[in-house]
Structure 1
Amino acid sequence: MPGTHRVRQMWISAVAVALVVSFSLSCSRNKAAESSIKVGVVLPITGREAKPGQYQREGIDLAIRQINQDGGVMVKELGQKLPIQEVFYDDSSDQAKSASLAERAMSSDGVIAVLGAYSTALGEAESVMPDRYQTPWISTGAAATTIFNHGYQYTFGTLSPTNLLGSTTAEYLGSLVDQGKLKKGLKIAMTLENTDHGVDYGRGIKQWIQDHPGYFNVVFSENFDLGSPDFSGLLQKVKGARADIFLADAHLQDYITMHRQYLQSGLAHQMISYGARGPEADARKAMGDGVDYIFAGIWWSKNLPYPQVKKFNEDYKAFAGHEPDSWYPAPAYDAVRALATAIESAGTLNKTAIRDALKNVDLKDSLLPGQELKFGANGQINTPFVIVENKPGGKVDIVYPKDAATGESIAPIPKH
């Protein structure tokens, strides 16, 4: 019996040693696995949305670089700062590929969050994945309300809703009536992209008009397909409507194609807008002074009078080799900052804890209009838009709201 007792003690000791060794190896592996914070980024760098996708990636990459240069993100649970490691995928502006790559990042790459999804179409495709894999997802370029109205718990976005873009557009035009620059009762023709983005934009305009009777009347409204090579038939209908104001909701490539054909057809209106498109360098390059006096409602402008915007403009130009183009890089930049803030607040790399912390993020020095970024109950922010107007000589002024304006509205468009 004494021998049996001795064997049992030796066996227990061996098991104890094995457990200690196993635990030590496990800790060692965990430390190695947590030498960085993996963040997925899915954006279009090729295809029809390549330019905005490039600008959004530059905003994300600049933020990551600055955070890492400062030592990384503090993770309290680990007692150290960790650098952000970007896991990047180009979705080629393709919906199916965008959804597949977001799924891959969440399921196979060990990321704690995914950023990206430029455009409503790509955002809608990706948005089904976050709750499935319980991984926070921040859309940096999709604003349609349908993305955020499903009750998803892991979905966030750094663009205000498109219906607010529509209502702000109408509100701006209404302010021009109040100033005596435009007459009351002018007729509006609208062409809207055949997406939920277009639906929201049109709804925002119509709701404002309904709430402010007598200002404007919508006499024409028709949808068009994304990526259409020819808008001449649609523009002939616009011409036949004899409207005073032309409002379109279009992506960058469709804006360039449509407005080139608008100019060729000899159309002229008192005011022209292509929704959130207008000041882009590619449009000016393609049509020169043909884009003068177009106004746009945008999520951000490099001309906002905030010290943090001035610094961002300088840092971005030094990093990317060119100035910020329209609004694209800023919401992406702030998305990274919001995520880093949430990680530090959560004190852990647990994805659900980070999700919970994102819901309480409050960036008081945001680049966006109003200088504060907070996610609403549905995960989407609700910062105000600014209205910019193209001026001769390549100048772009903020013309609305007044407290952010860098120049006066020129309205109606001068006749040549």
Structure 2
Amino acid sequence: MLGFVVLSMGLSPAQVLANEALATAESGTTCAADAAIIDKDFPTGAYAHCTASGGKRFNLMIAPEDEGDINCSAWYAFRITPLRAARITINLDYETCGHRYWPKTSTDGVNWTAVSPDDVKVEGERGARTAQIRLRTGVQPVFVAAQEILPPSVYDAWLDGYSAKPFLTRSVLGQSAEQRDIEIVRIADPAATPLESVVLVGRQHPPEITGALAMFAFAETIMGDSDLAQAYRARFETLMVPLLNPDGVVRGHWRHNTGGVDLNRDWGPFTQPETALMKGVLDSIAADPLRQLRGVIDFHSTNKDVFYTIPDDLPTDPELFTRNWLNLYQERMPDYTVNREARHDVGRPISKAYAYDTYGVPGITFEIGDETDRALIRRIGREAAIAMMQVMLETPMPAAAAE
């Protein structure tokens, strides 16, 4: 279902490719050896510098997008174009932070496979790790990346699959700093007038692919044909901004937008065009006396599966929604441990804190581990959505919405 469009997927004659690569090799962004060429000329492609030696060996320097404070989400993505069958070696070195993500490969951008542990060697201590990858090339170009590649075209293809559904409305919320469209999706029964809103946010941080995969499954469940989903859509509208940082995604950033800002540290200041759009969404709900914001769920990735939430001793509306949601979710996942870390720092400029401080609603950061099994992620997204819909439907309807 998921894929991406990249130009020049087909092989040109080997010598033509070699000549083109050598012509740009001085820039350090493309390098050619006797056996293959490496480049990053596709959406999300990223490394700082590439050199080739010995005919079959490549050295890539991986560096963050800017010199500001950065989270250690050391993203890399590159394409190998074979010139002959060979076993090549790629060394990944890091300007800062060190190796984090286990390498994955794909020949079509749709199906991804983790590189065998026999072919990956990670050395060094935390924060200074390097990695060596050995791959046997065939005749097709192969993509190597820190995680599955999900650029804007994947989101377009995903939503195109639901274009005939009457409950889904797509519109352009606004543009990023580099004038890429940021889309908002409304999911609601067109025959009803839902006045309660749940807001979903995704991809504030470009490398956080597992959170995006969970959001896909979560949203697909809300858009499903079950009686529960239909009842939920009749009472609630879901407003989803699945790709808030398209510039950072396309450019292969570790954390920031093109303004050098971590978007999930800009809720409150709203200095960036992307977060300002989210303020507009929430303000439009708050300005309507008939509408009621019921929660904000922000999808991310980290080193484990965990929900970062508002503590239960702080009153929210709906009351104790988060506790009830995650308890039911745990009941639906008896063979899986639901981790929750509840904390609130007043005024902290992140989505969950802003949602609570400003509107008194549950703010939840839905985190998925970097290497959580992909089939399990789909189950997590599905079961979490089922539990969320059920608990939301059990909450008392606000007076304005009930009239």
Q: Normalising by the residue count of structure 1, what TM-score does the alignment of the two structures yield?
A: 0.29
More strand by share: 2
Greater Rg over alpha carbons, structure: 1
Q: Normalising by the residue count of structure 2, what TM-score does the alignment of the two structures yield?
A: 0.30
Q: Whose RCO is larger (CA < 8 A, sep 6+)?
A: 1
More helix by share: 1
